[in-house]
């Protein structure tokens, strides 16, 4: 079974631009979660989608948004990029319930100049 895939793997943007990252979960998984990893703040939960609905949301500004499609693929969008948005963005997928284990993708490295 193929693992979680994320595209693109690397991205360079400038301040003020917006960016869209994509995550394809493991086949059959309906939950997709997003995390931001930075040296200063560590790993922080952004949001989780399940069956096209946002199920949980972390403490991030409204510039960070996401969505999930009917095939469970998910996208996250960051508008008006700031230098502090430079990070590794990790996506994780799980089956459905909160008894399941989540599996992570390789991440997207975003650099904001």
Residues that bind other proteins (CB under 8 A): 31, 33, 35, 42-45, 48, 50, 55-56, 58, 88, 90, 92, 94, 97-107, 109
The residue (of 58 and 79) whose beta carbon lies closer to other proteins is 58
Q: Kindly state the smallest distance separating residue 15's Cβ from other proteins, in Å.
A: 24
| Residue 12 token pair | 């360079």
Q: Kindly state the smallest distance separating residue 60's Cβ from other proteins, in Å.
A: 13
The residue (of 9 and 15) whose beta carbon lies closer to other proteins is 9
DSSP string, 42-111: EEEEEEEEETTEEEEE-S--TTEEEEE-TTS-EEEEE-S--GGG-EEEEEEEE-SSTTSPPEE---EEEE
Residues 100/46, Cβ–Cβ less than 8 Å: no
Q: Kindly state the smallest distance separating residue 16's Cβ from other proteins, in Å.
A: 27
């Amino acid at each position: 079974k193929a693992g979680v895939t994320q595209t693109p793997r690397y991205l360079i943007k400038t301040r003020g631009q917006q960016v869209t990252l994509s995550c394809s979960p493991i086949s059959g998984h309906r939950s997709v979660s997003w995390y931001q990893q930075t040296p200063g703040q560590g790993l922080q939960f952004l949001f989780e989608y399940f069956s096209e609905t946002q199920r949980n949301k972390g403490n991030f500004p409204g510039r960070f948004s996401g969505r999930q499609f009917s095939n469970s693929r998910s996208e996250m969008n960051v508008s008006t990029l700031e230098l502090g948005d430079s990070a590794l963005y990790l996506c994780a997928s799980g089956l459905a319930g909160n008894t399941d284990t989540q599996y992570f993708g390789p991440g997207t490295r975003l650099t904001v100049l």
